Structures are given as C-alpha cells and as structure tokens.
C-alpha cells in the first residue's frame, strides 16, 4: 500500500489488462467499476462495462483518479 503524492490518501497500484499502472482506492466501494483478478502471477485490474456490472457480485474498486481532488495534475496527457 502507498499514499497518493497529492492528497495523501492510501492507494494501491495495480496493473490493468493492458499492462498500464493504475492507482486504486484501497477499500472496495459502492459504485466501483473495477474488479481485481488474481488468476495470473500478479493481480490485474479489469474495468467492467455496464452489462458486466449488472451481474457482478464480488467487491469492486474505484480508480483513485475518480476520487483524488488533484487527479488532473497526474494524468498522462495526449500531446497529439
């Protein structure tokens, strides 16, 4: 577990299915859209779509980008 460099909240870094790092809030949350799968060597974040969310019964997490007051300062920007 780490702390957000901006707001100090506890976060967990996890890798998405596309190999990108993603900060998650540590605790599962109502309204979460991210399932953590642990079938491989490392836990992986899977962002669920609306249909998947209708049937999901396990704990779901929220990206820290959705809850951090300074998230815009940390997102990668497209310079294209």
Q: Which residues of 41-53 are buried (b: 16+ CB within 10 A; e: fewer)?
A: eeebbeeeeeeee
**Residue among 72, 20, 37, 8 nearest 48 (CA):** 37
**pTM for this predicted structure:** 0.81
pLDDT at 42: 86
Give the residue ranges of the chain where pLDDT is below 70. Answer: 74-80
pLDDT at 71: 76
pLDDT at 40: 72
Per DSSP, 33 falls in state -
pLDDT at 1: 79
């Amino acid at each position: 577990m780490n702390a957000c460099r901006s707001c100090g909240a506890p976060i967990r870094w996890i890798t998405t299915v596309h190999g990108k790092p993603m900060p998650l809030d540590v605790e599962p949350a109502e309204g979460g859209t991210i399932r953590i799968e642990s079938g491989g060597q490392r836990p992986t974040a899977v962002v669920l779509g609306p249909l998947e969310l209708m049937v999901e019964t396990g704990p779901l997490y929220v990206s820290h980008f959705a809850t951090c007051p300074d998230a815009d300062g940390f997102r990668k920007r497209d310079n294209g």
